[in-house]
């Protein structure tokens, strides 16, 4: 035995079962809401409230235990392992959507157009030519029955037209601005990180506020961008381009929102003096998360808008 | 060529991010240093990549994929 | 629904439970690293299970598209209850991911300080590698069902060719999850068998380190062979060839394992208590399933076998006589440590022979049915298949009934069993056997010494 070491086992808590109830309520409500059940929305909101309550309670308890110095290094390392592999699972989640994007763009859309002379991809429609983010939307006055999927190929004289409005997907406008904003937030966060390691608390606060502001600005512009795209006819329902565009950017936006909230909590904890130059895992975890979200956006910007 | 370069830089960014994760995992002074260095690298690379992409776009080396056509625009249907 | 319940509701929770109970004991830790998160991952299960089962009572019936829920069966043509099914899968995914994160943190961080990685028992090794598979695969499943959800309710076109998507895309994403998933279910089984066979052969495990490397190779390969489930979807020939060869490659590490188990038994002084019976029959029957898998993995031959009862027979041989067998073997092997009492060996042997005969009557004829051309998933098969199906049904009822006896044996053991010693199997190695006969809630409050670890290591 090199040195005596006692294991730490935390005391019991009810938060996990509360969280399970909350998350199940949220999903049951959501499913009912989609099926048009009247109480669906309120149950969903209730479930969400329970989840938020659980988050505050559970994390608050952990923060308390941490600041009271109950944890040892081993617990700290367990948290680090937990956070790292959680993020890895997030990477895999986004990978599924990026995979769908690449597959649709490189394989399924060209095949639909008859590329490769593959025996399995015969000509489906004479008038159809495959081009990426070709969108279908209704000409004014035309109506589609609900439940039908908008047809993707251009169908002459049927009221369905395809178009590729250039500025919806033009990377020079808002997307470029948003990329710049988010990258800048990565820079300011790095300054905050540096300040924390050097022990300048006032500077940390400043840089963190800047990061949060940039993140929020990003979200605001993203909403504008959605409004614009939607107005131009790019919708979730407008074929595979709309699907991948909204799902990828939407899930990314959700992660940015979560990131902004987490950064705000970290800002609060910095002001409370929870972190030291040596011991600041909470900050590191959130910072890494933010960098991850940042890189996902860079990937989105390059692959969705450019390449 | 430009595309390949962009993809390589993105992979490099992911690697730097991954090293940051390993640093966070290690913890302690060493891990903290490693994490910080990797993240600085990743931020620098990202900014550089962004500038390069915009520059390449301005020079016309790459086109926004709105104008990209993946399959022949005029396609002759097989006579049945 | 049968497949979903068996995969997500039976095999996986059973192994996760076994892992959560055994791993801390095996690595000399008091408990799992993140007990609260673990607790959460447990409590999600009853809720997710209830949501999943509640679909049986909904209008339009439960999801009726098998555990693979291919689009468009699960999107365009599915009952409304599918949305509940999707959320249940999301919840099960959260639960699995948290469980896996916890096992990784426990094994890598809570291990006794004196225990090196290559001292770890194989069950711990296989679970560690399984956890990596879980974390890599489950989020992809979450992505797949999310796309399904939006396709169903928000008009996206991921799996809809009229919008430029592709139903085959679903199969790619699903099997990128699905293939690692089948190894998630079998790797812990390998670990269990690697404990039982050395114990009753009274020899150290043959080729410990090659077992570890074989497990890791299987895990790696499992990520790059997914499309061998999709040979008939019209992939380019180059793709078919690649996936065929990569699939063949998996036979190599799996063969290493089977030969290692046999070499462990070679010239051992073997006895056949119930756990050993299950373990030996695991090796035998799992290998049958492995060989039929090899046959299915050959792309040109798969054109004949695809979607027939041959496939059904194959995966029931690997999952029932593989994964489930090892769970039952593990139950008997560690039951004394769990209850502090011994089970009735005589009844256990009767149960074994009953089950092993029944399961073969149940599944072996399905090979013949499949080769004769009976397709999977049909409500009414043609007349010439009736006889074999009849035999198969008899086996099915007999096999199902055997579980009443198993339940009785376990309850009888808890109630009336004779007290067990701390190490009821004299050939058993492992830190768990150094604890008191009935393991306590928190096993090791001070780490075990290097000497003890070495004495109990499988790698010595």
Confidence of residue A169 (pLDDT cuts 50, 70, 90): low
Give the gap in angstroms from C-alpha C144 to the nearest C-alpha of chain A: 7
Question: A207-221, B15-29, C176-190: lowest mean pLDDT where?
Answer: B15-29
ipTM: 0.86
Average pLDDT of chain A, as a whole number: 77
Are C25 and C435 in contact, with CB atoms under 8 Å apart? yes
Confidence of residue A148 (pLDDT cuts 50, 70, 90): very low
Q: Do A7 and C110 touch (CB under 8 A)?
A: yes
Are B21 and A270 in contact, with CB atoms under 8 Å apart? no
Give the gap in angstroms from C-alpha A45 to the nearest C-alpha of chain B: 35
**Strand, helix or coil at C157?**
coil
Measured between beta carbons, the chain A residues lying within 8 angstroms of C174 are: none
Q: Looking at residues C416-441, what average pLDDT do you find?
A: 84
Residue B69, pLDDT > 70, answer: no
Closest residue of chain C to A12, computed from CA coordinates: C36
Long-range contacts, stretch A19-22, CB < 8 angstroms, 24+ apart: A19/A50, A19/A51, A19/A54, A19/A58, A19/C40, A19/C43, A20/C40, A20/C43, A20/C44, A20/C46, A20/C47, A21/A50, A21/C47, A22/A47, A22/A48, A22/A49, A22/A50, A22/A51, A22/A53, A22/A54
Give the gap in angstroms from C-alpha A251 to the nearest C-alpha of chain B: 19
Q: Looking at residues C135-148, what average pLDDT do you find?
A: 92
Q: Looking at residues C262-271, what average pLDDT do you find?
A: 91
pLDDT of A134: 54
Question: A178-182, B75-79, C300-304: lowest mean pLDDT where?
Answer: B75-79
Task: Supply the pTM of this predicted model.
Answer: 0.87
Residue C388, pLDDT > 70, answer: yes
Q: Does C257 touch chain A (CB under 8 A)?
A: no
Q: Does A296 touch chain C (CB under 8 A)?
A: no
Q: Looking at residues A271-278, what average pLDDT do you find?
A: 79
Handedness of CA A297, A300, A306, B1 (dihedral sign): positive
Residue A2, pLDDT > 50, answer: no
Give the gap in angstroms from C-alpha C218 to the nearest C-alpha of chain A: 20
- List, in order, residues 6 or more apart from C336 with CB less than 8 Å away: C342, C343, C420, C421, C424, C437
CATH code reported for the domain at A71-107+168-306: 1.20.120.80
Structure tokens, A112: 């639909």
The topology (CATH level 3) of A10-68 is: Helix Hairpins (1.10.287)
pLDDT of A55: 84
Average pLDDT of chain C, as a whole number: 89
Closest CB to A186: pick one of B14, B46, B68. Answer: B46
Q: What is the pLDDT of residues C232-249, one digit of tens each?
A: 887 888 888 999 999 999
DSSP C24-44: HHHTT-SS-SSHHHHHHHHHH
Domain boundaries, chain A: 10-68, 71-107+168-306
Q: What is the pLDDT of residues C29-66, one digit of tens each?
A: 888 888 888 888 888 999 998 998 888 888 888 888 88
Residue A140, pLDDT > 70, answer: no
**Strand, helix or coil at C383?**
helix
Between C251 and A15, the higher pLDDT residue: C251
Closest residue of chain A to C145, computed from CA coordinates: A96
Put simply, the chain A residues between 195 and 224 with a CB less than 8 A from any chain B CB are 197
Between C329 and B80, the higher pLDDT residue: C329
Alpha carbons A223 and B20: distance in angstroms, whole number? 31
Residue C179: closest CA among C5, C17, C38, C318 = C318
Question: A109-113, B47-51, C357-361: lowest mean pLDDT where?
Answer: A109-113
Measured between beta carbons, the chain B residues lying within 8 angstroms of A307 are: 3, 6-7, 62, 65
**Strand, helix or coil at C196?**
helix
Confidence of residue A137 (pLDDT cuts 50, 70, 90): very low
pLDDT of B66: 52
Half-sphere exposure of C131 (CA within 13 A, CB side): 25
Residue A186, pLDDT > 50, answer: yes
Are A125 and A119 in contact, with CB atoms under 8 Å apart? no
Question: A117-126, A261-270, C11-20, C47-56: lowest mean pLDDT where?
Answer: A117-126
pLDDT of C156: 84
Burial of A139 (0-12, 13-18, 19+ CB in 10 A): exposed
The percent of residues in chain C predicted with pLDDT above 90, rounded, is 49
Give the gap in angstroms from C-alpha A109 to the nearest C-alpha of chain B: 8
Q: What is the pLDDT of residues A199-212, one digit of tens each?
A: 887 888 889 999 99
Q: Does B11 touch chain A (CB under 8 A)?
A: no
Q: What is the pLDDT of residues C104-132, one digit of tens each?
A: 988 988 888 888 888 889 999 999 999 99
Measured between beta carbons, the chain B residues lying within 8 angstroms of A76 are: 27
Half-sphere exposure of C322 (CA within 13 A, CB side): 24
Does A71-107+168-306 match A10-68 at the fold level? no
Put simply, the chain C residues between 216 and 235 with a CB less than 8 A from any chain A CB are 234
Closest residue of chain C to A26, computed from CA coordinates: C87
The percent of residues in chain A predicted with pLDDT above 90, rounded, is 11
Strand partners, C371: none
- List, in order, residues 6 or more apart from A245 with CB less than 8 Å away: A133, A229, A234, A304
Q: Kindly list the structural domains of chain C, giving each domain's residue range(s) and its CATH number in brackets, ordered by start.
A: 1-265 (1.20.210.10), 271-339+343-417 (no CATH)
- Hey, of C72, C130, C164, which one would you mutate to test binding to chain A, going by the most A CBs within 10 A of its CB? C164
Measured between beta carbons, the chain B residues lying within 8 angstroms of A102 are: none
**Strand, helix or coil at A186?**
helix
Confidence of residue A138 (pLDDT cuts 50, 70, 90): very low
Residue C74, pLDDT > 50, answer: yes
Residue A123, pLDDT > 70, answer: no
Residue C104: closest CA among A13, A292, A83 = A83
Alpha carbons A230 and C386: distance in angstroms, whole number? 57
The percent of residues in chain C predicted with pLDDT above 70, rounded, is 100
Closest CB to A132: pick one of B42, B49, B68. Answer: B68
Alpha carbons A282 and A275: distance in angstroms, whole number? 8
What is the number of other CB atoms lying within 10 angstroms of the CB of residue A300? 22
Place of tokens 């963190």: A208
Which sequence positions of C are flagged as catalytic?
2, 31, 67, 95-96, 179, 181, 183, 194, 228-229, 254, 257, 376
Q: Does C382 touch chain A (CB under 8 A)?
A: no
Closest CB to A105: pick one of B14, B64, B70. Answer: B70
Which 3-state string (H, E, C) describes A18-66? HHHHHHHHHHHHHHHHHCCCCCHHHHHHHHHHHHHHHHHHHHHHHHHHH
Residue C258, pLDDT > 90, answer: yes
Q: Do A131 and B29 touch (CB under 8 A)?
A: no
Closest residue of chain C to A97, computed from CA coordinates: C143
Preceding amide of C323 cis, omega within 30: no
Q: Does A207 touch chain C (CB under 8 A)?
A: no
Confidence of residue B67 (pLDDT cuts 50, 70, 90): very low
């Amino acid at each position: 035995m090199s040195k005596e070491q006692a294991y730490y086992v935390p005391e019991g808590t009810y938060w996990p079962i509360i969280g399970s109830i909350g998350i199940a309520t949220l999903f049951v409500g959501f499913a009912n809401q989609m099926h048009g059940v009247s109480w669906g929305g309120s149950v969903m909101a209730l479930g969400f409230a329970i989840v938020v309550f659980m988050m505050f309670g559970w994390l608050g308890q952990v923060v308390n235990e941490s600041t009271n110095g109950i944890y040892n290094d081993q617990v700290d390392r367990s948290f680090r392992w937990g956070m790292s592999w959680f993020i890895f699972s997030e990477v895999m989640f986004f990978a599924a959507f990026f995979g769908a994007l690449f597959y649709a763009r490189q394989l399924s859309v060209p095949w639909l157009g008859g590329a490769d002379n593959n025996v399995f991809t015969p000509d489906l429609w004479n008038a159809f030519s495959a081009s990426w983010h070709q969108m279908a939307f209704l000409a004014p006055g035309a109506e589609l029955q609900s439940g039908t999927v908008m047809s993707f190929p251009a169908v002459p004289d049927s009221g369905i037209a395809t178009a590729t409005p250039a500025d919806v997907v033009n990377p020079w406008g808002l997307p470029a601005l948003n990329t710049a904003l988010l990258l800048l937030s990565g820079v300011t966060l790095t300054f905050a990180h540096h300040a924390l390691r050097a022990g300048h608390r006032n500077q940390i606060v400043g840089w963190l506020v800047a990061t949060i502001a940039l993140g929020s600005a990003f979200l605001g512009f993203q909403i504008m961008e959605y409004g614009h795209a939607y107005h131009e006819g790019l919708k979730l329902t407008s074929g595979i381009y709309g699907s991948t565009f909204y799902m990828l950017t939407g899930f990314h936006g959700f992660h940015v929102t979560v990131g902004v909230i987490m950064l705000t909590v970290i800002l609060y904890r910095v002001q409370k003096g929870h972190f030291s130059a040596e011991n600041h895992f909470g900050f590191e975890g959130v910072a890494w998360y933010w960098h991850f979200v940042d890189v996902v956006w860079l990937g989105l910007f390059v692959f969705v808008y450019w390449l | 060529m430009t595309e390949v370069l962009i993809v390589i830089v993105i992979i490099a960014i992911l690697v730097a991010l991954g090293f940051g994760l390993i640093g966070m995992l290690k913890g302690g002074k060493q891990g903290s240093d490693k994490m910080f260095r990797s993240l600085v690298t990743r931020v620098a690379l990202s900014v550089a990549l962004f500038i390069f992409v915009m520059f390449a776009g301005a020079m016309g080396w790459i086109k926004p994929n709105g104008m990209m056509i993946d399959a022949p625009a005029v396609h002759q249907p097989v006579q049945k | 629904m049968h497949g979903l319940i068996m995969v997500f509701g039976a095999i996986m929770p059973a192994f996760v439970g076994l892992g959560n109970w055994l791993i801390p004991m095996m690595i000399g830790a008091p408990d799992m690293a993140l007990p609260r998160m673990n607790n959460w991952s447990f409590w999600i299960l009853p809720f997710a299970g209830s949501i999943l089962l509640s679909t049986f009572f909904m209008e339009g019936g439960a999801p009726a598209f098998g555990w693979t829920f291919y689009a468009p069966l699960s999107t365009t043509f599915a009952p409304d209850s599918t949305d509940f099914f999707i959320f249940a899968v999301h919840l099960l995914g959260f639960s699995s991911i948290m469980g896996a994160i916890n096992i990784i943190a426990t094994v890598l961080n809570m291990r006794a300080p004196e225990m090196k990685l290559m001292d770890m028992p194989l069950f711990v090794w296989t679970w560690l590698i399984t956890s990596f598979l879980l974390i890599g695969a489950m989020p992809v499943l979450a992505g797949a069902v999310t796309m399904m959800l939006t396709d169903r309710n928000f008009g996206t076109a991921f799996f809809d060719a009229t919008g430029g998507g592709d139903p085959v895309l679903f199969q790619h994403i699903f099997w990128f999850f699905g293939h690692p998933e089948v190894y998630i279910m079998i790797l812990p089984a390998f670990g269990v068998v690697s404990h039982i066979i050395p114990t009753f052969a009274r020899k150290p495990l043959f080729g410990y380190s090659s077992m570890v490397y074989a497990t890791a190779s299987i895990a790696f390969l499992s990520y790059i062979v997914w499309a061998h489930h999709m040979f008939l979807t019209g992939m380019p020939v180059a793709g078919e060839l690649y996936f065929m060869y990569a699939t063949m490659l998996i036979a190599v590490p799996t063969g290493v394992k089977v030969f290692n188990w046999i070499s462990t038994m070679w010239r051992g002084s073997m006895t056949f208590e119930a756990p050993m019976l299950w373990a030996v029959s695991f090796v035998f029957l799992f290998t049958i399933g492995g060989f039929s898998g090899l046959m299915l993995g050959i792309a040109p031959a798969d054109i004949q076998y695809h979607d027939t009862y041959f496939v059904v027979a194959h995966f029931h041989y690997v999952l029932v006589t593989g994964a489930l067998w090892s769970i039952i073997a593990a139950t008997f092997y560690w039951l004394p440590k769990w209850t502090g009492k011994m089970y009735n060996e005589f009844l256990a042997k009767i149960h074994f022979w009953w089950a092993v005969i029944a399961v073969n009557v149940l599944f072996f004829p399905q090979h013949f049915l499949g080769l004769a051309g009976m397709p999977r998933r049909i409500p009414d098969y043609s007349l010439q298949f009736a006889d074999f199906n009849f035999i198969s049904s008899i086996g099915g009822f007999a096999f199902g009934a055997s579980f009443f006896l198993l339940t009785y044996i376990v309850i009888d053991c808890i109630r009336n069993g004779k007290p067990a010693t701390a190490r009821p199997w004299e050939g058993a190695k492992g830190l768990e056997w150094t604890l008191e006969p009935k393991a306590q809630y928190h096993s090791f409050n001070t780490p075990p010494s290097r000497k003890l670890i070495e004495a109990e290591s499988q790698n010595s």
